[in-house]
Amino acid sequence: MLDRVDFSVTRQAPTLDHYRREWTPGPDVTLGGVWVGAVVSDQAGRNYLGLRGTDDFVTGMTHVVSPVCGFRALHPGAEATHLFSEYSGIDWFEPLTYTDSGDRLQTSYPSGRFEWDDDGFHWYDAGNRWELHGRTVSDVAITHVPIQPGIEHQVHYRHELMYATGIIDGVEVSGYAHQDFAYGPPGMIYTELPVARHLQGMWMSWLHAYPDGRLGGGSFWQGRDGLDFGPGYLLEDGVTTVHRDIVATPTFDENGKMTALEATVGAASYNFAFDTSGSPLHYFGRVVSDGAGTAPARSWCWVEYAGGMLTPELLDMMNQQFRLVRGR
């Protein structure tokens, strides 16, 4: 069992090139998964979750990660409900088409599309039930775990924060969004790479807003089973700093659900409260206080806590159904 792992965390200013499918963070790796996620609120304070993945099970395919997440309305203290019935039963896989016209990139699939241009990121439903527009507010942060004892394959994981605005079912919304990318050896997908298989105990990301419009936030990992693994980054006053030693201490209720968390990032301490779950693995909530002890005006927090559930054996069983289409 691993008790420590060597890794690095770096940052880059985002450019349009970062969203081209041929971009990679280093040699000898290719795209192994992309995830676009958003937690946004309307003026009445209702929260909505959207999540779409591509290339993480089958290259060239996108899916809605349902029924675990999909597209949902988040209800404090109650079960999250699906917004669109076709995504509520089984995962919804669709082939994608990628177009690069130089100043605009587009990933389209039968039920919608993603676009990237100089104005940011855009997510459209083919039936006009929603559209979200994301403005990147952090640098692109990249965690790299190289080959080493106990780690057979290298992996790069990159993440960025966006402030999102848009419309869901005719209602104006705004809030948090992120873009999530994984890279590994050619032909491998994220669940075959070491973060998912051996390292992750918890993943967290958040965005908060102050009354004067300033934004803050961050994202980090925590290792499983006592593993010292705390890479991540922090956004404060428009500046992104990367960190290798983030420590998070969660609190659980009598049913084993996460209710609070304290995270130490550099010299700062952040406190979070969670009152909503979107699945057995996903919790949503707010920033109680930032690194200065201030409660932001608005905030959106997303935690994936798997504990020791995501074992290599379970992940391999999940991937078994895709072997034929992957040519394996």
Nearest one of 316, 315, 251, 306 to 280, comparing CA atoms: 306
* Residue 23 amino acid letter: W
Quickly count: other Cβ atoms within 10 Å of residue 246's Cβ: 23
Alpha helices, H only, the chain? 194, 312-319
Show pLDDT as tens, one digit a residue, over the chain (328 residues): 788 899 999 999 999 999 999 999 999 999 999 999 999 999 999 999 999 999 999 999 999 988 788 899 999 988 899 999 888 888 999 999 999 999 999 999 999 999 999 999 999 999 999 999 999 999 999 999 999 999 999 999 999 999 999 999 899 999 999 999 999 999 999 999 999 999 999 999 999 999 999 999 999 999 998 899 999 999 999 999 999 999 999 999 998 899 999 999 999 999 999 999 888 889 999 999 999 999 999 999 999 998 777 888 989 998 999 988 888 7
Q: Which residues lie closer than 8 Å to 87 by C-beta, 6 or more apart? A: 64, 66, 67, 70, 71
Q: What is the DSSP letter of 115?
A: E
Tokens 């209720």 — which residue? 253
Quote the pLDDT of residue 89. 84
Half-sphere exposure of 203 (CA within 13 A, CB side): 14
Tokens 């010292």 — which residue? 228
Quote the pLDDT of residue 69. 86
